[in-house]
């Protein structure tokens, strides 16, 4: 028998009340506006998948399983694939957290008797498989992506510095050869001159592993030089900052971008859209996909910005870089968190066992 105080709200009614509550939390600072909107978007998707007229308390663990699997198969409109691509593992995990928070609140307020999330049986493998979108790129794949980014910056930036001539294709309006950005500006629309910016985005993500929010939040003034070394002051989660030195190649592309590739704009953002406004988080995936199309198909694999964060951590650690240094680069508060970003690489166990430290002969032995 249901308790007398159970409130049998429909899915739509409970969602509306819950979204109103989380948006109210932004006024007190308990939640950021961006986080509240993510929750609201996921709850709206939950309503569509569950059925707005259903009573929330009538949903079972099996219903939750079906909703999670339906979301996993739902095309992701942000992806560049023709069918939109399926939801990434990170999106599935975020969606699960969002509806779990909804049911937790519903349990406390008497909208449901039993939290059906506790009865859900869908496993991580069913929801996301091996997480190919978030898994670190192999060394060959990462080098292919970085090489494509370098080619973009060399063609559009280095040619500008060297003053190399540009050859225009009268049929397409494109420019070939070593092209200066200023030269390209006479033959290409402003929204087509983003090569150096795109190269910088891919290089920063691949070699330094910032969160995508940290990347789009960066301002020109956050990059400074100290004793001949270029640093990026990254404003991370919880108001914490970290100063990370840029690899020399990345610093050179940054200089080209600031000198030649970034349009003059009153906006202090480092990364600008072709309209001269701060680049949005959702635009970053499109940039990666655009650069990926320049990679040899044998070395190409779809990857998200967070997958490139995994790539940074995995390859720094695989190359025996000090774990605490890697933690500081990524902005983690403790080493335990770093462990989740260390992905397996093909062949690494074989290499490790071939170079086993206990089997090395002393230097005096023959």
Same domain, 148 and 250: yes
- What is the predicted pLDDT for the residue at 141? 92
Structural domains in the chain (count): 2
- What is the predicted pLDDT for the residue at 129? 43
Spatial neighbors of 349 by CB under 8 A, at least 6 apart, are none
Determine which one of 18, 39, 257, 341 is catalytic: 341
Same domain, 294 and 200: yes
Give residue 67's domain range. 11-128
Same domain, 157 and 100: no
- What is the predicted pLDDT for the residue at 173? 34
Same domain, 121 and 238: no
- What is the predicted pLDDT for the residue at 159? 38
**Do residues 241 and 344 lie in contact, with contact meaning Cβ atoms separated by under 8 Å?**
no
Is 237 one of the annotated active-site residues of the chain?
yes
Determine which one of 306, 310, 315, 327 is catalytic: 306
Residue 162 vs residues 18, 154, 193: alpha-carbon distances, Å:
59, 10, 18
Determine which one of 79, 262, 309, 327 is catalytic: 309
Q: Which tokens in the block code for residue 140?
A: 């060959």
Is 74 one of the annotated active-site residues of the chain?
no
**Of 140, 40, 205, 150, residue with least CA distance to 347:** 140
- What is the predicted pLDDT for the residue at 349? 60
* Residue 358 belongs to some domain of the structure: no
- What is the predicted pLDDT for the residue at 134? 55
Same domain, 95 and 220: no
Sheet of 229-235, strand order: 223-226, 229-235, 241-245
Same domain, 155 and 294: yes
**Of 75, 15, 21, residue with least CA distance to 50:** 15
Same domain, 186 and 273: yes
Place of tokens 């060399």: 154
Same domain, 79 and 143: no
Which letter does DSSP use for residue 263 in this model?
P
* Residue 360 belongs to some domain of the structure: no
Report field, pTM of the whole predicted structure over 0.85: no
Determine which one of 134, 230, 315, 332 is catalytic: 332
| pLDDT tens column, 136-187 | 888 899 999 999 999 988 865 443 333 333 333 333 333 333 333 334 444 4
List the chain residues with pLDDT less than 50: 1-4, 82-83, 124-133, 157-189, 191-192
Q: Which tokens in the block code for residue 147?
A: 């090489």
**Do residues 61 and 112 lie in contact, with contact meaning Cβ atoms separated by under 8 Å?**
no
- Among residues 103, 128, 153, the one where a domain terminates is 128
Same domain, 186 and 298: yes
We report the CATH number of the domain holding residue 221 as 1.10.443.10
| pLDDT tens column, 97-139 | 999 999 999 999 999 988 998 887 765 444 444 344 457 888 8
C-alpha of 156 from chain center: 25
Label each residue of 303-324 as H, E or C.
CCHHHHHHHHHHHHHHCCCCHH
Place of tokens 């939950």: 46
Is 306 one of the annotated active-site residues of the chain?
yes
Residue 345 has phi, psi (to 5 degrees) of: -115, 140
Determine which one of 127, 131, 211, 310 is catalytic: 211
Is 341 one of the annotated active-site residues of the chain?
yes
Determine which one of 186, 190, 237, 240 is catalytic: 237
């Amino acid at each position: 028998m249901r308790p007398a105080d159970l409130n049998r709200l429909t899915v739509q009614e409970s969602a509306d009340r819950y979204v109103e509550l989380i948006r109210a939390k932004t006024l007190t600072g308990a939640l950021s506006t961006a986080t509240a909107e993510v929750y609201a978007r996921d709850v709206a998707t939950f309503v569509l998948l569950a059925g707005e007229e259903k009573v929330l308390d009538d949903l079972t663990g099996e219903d939750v399983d079906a909703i999670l699997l339906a979301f996993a198969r739902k095309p992701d409109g942000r992806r560049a694939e023709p069918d939109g691509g399926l939801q990434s593992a990170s999106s599935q995990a975020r969606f699960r957290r969002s509806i779990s928070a909804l049911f937790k609140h519903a349990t406390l307020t008497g909208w449901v008797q039993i939290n059906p999330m506790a009865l859900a049986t869908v496993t991580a493998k069913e929801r996301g498989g091996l997480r190919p979108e978030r898994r670190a790129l192999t060394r060959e794949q990462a080098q292919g992506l970085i090489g494509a980014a370098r080619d973009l910056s060399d063609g559009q930036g280095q040619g500008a510095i060297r003053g190399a001539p540009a050859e225009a294709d009268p049929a397409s309006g494109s420019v070939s050869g070593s092209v200066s950005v200023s030269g390209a500006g006479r033959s290409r629309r402003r929204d087509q001159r983003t090569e150096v910016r795109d190269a910088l985005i891919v290089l920063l993500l691949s070699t330094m592993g910032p969160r995508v929010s940290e990347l789009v939040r960066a301002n020109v003034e956050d990059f400074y030089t100290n004793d001949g070394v270029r640093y990026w002051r990254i404003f991370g989660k919880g108001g914490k900052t970290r100063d990370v030195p840029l690899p020399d190649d990345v610093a050179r592309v940054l200089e080209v971008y600031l000198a030649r590739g970034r349009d003059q704009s009153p906006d202090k953002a480092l990364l600008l859209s072709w309209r001269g406004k701060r680049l949005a988080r959702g635009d970053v995936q499109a940039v990666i996909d655009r650069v990926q199309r320049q990679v040899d198909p044998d070395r190409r694999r779809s990857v998200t910005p967070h997958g490139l964060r995994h790539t940074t951590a995995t390859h720094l650690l695989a190359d025996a870089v000090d774990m605490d240094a890697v933690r500081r680069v990524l902005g983690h508060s403790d080493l335990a968190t770093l462990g989740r970003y260390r992905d397996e690489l093909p062949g690494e166990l074989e290499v490790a066992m071939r170079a086993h430290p206990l089997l090395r002969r002393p230097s005096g032995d023959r």
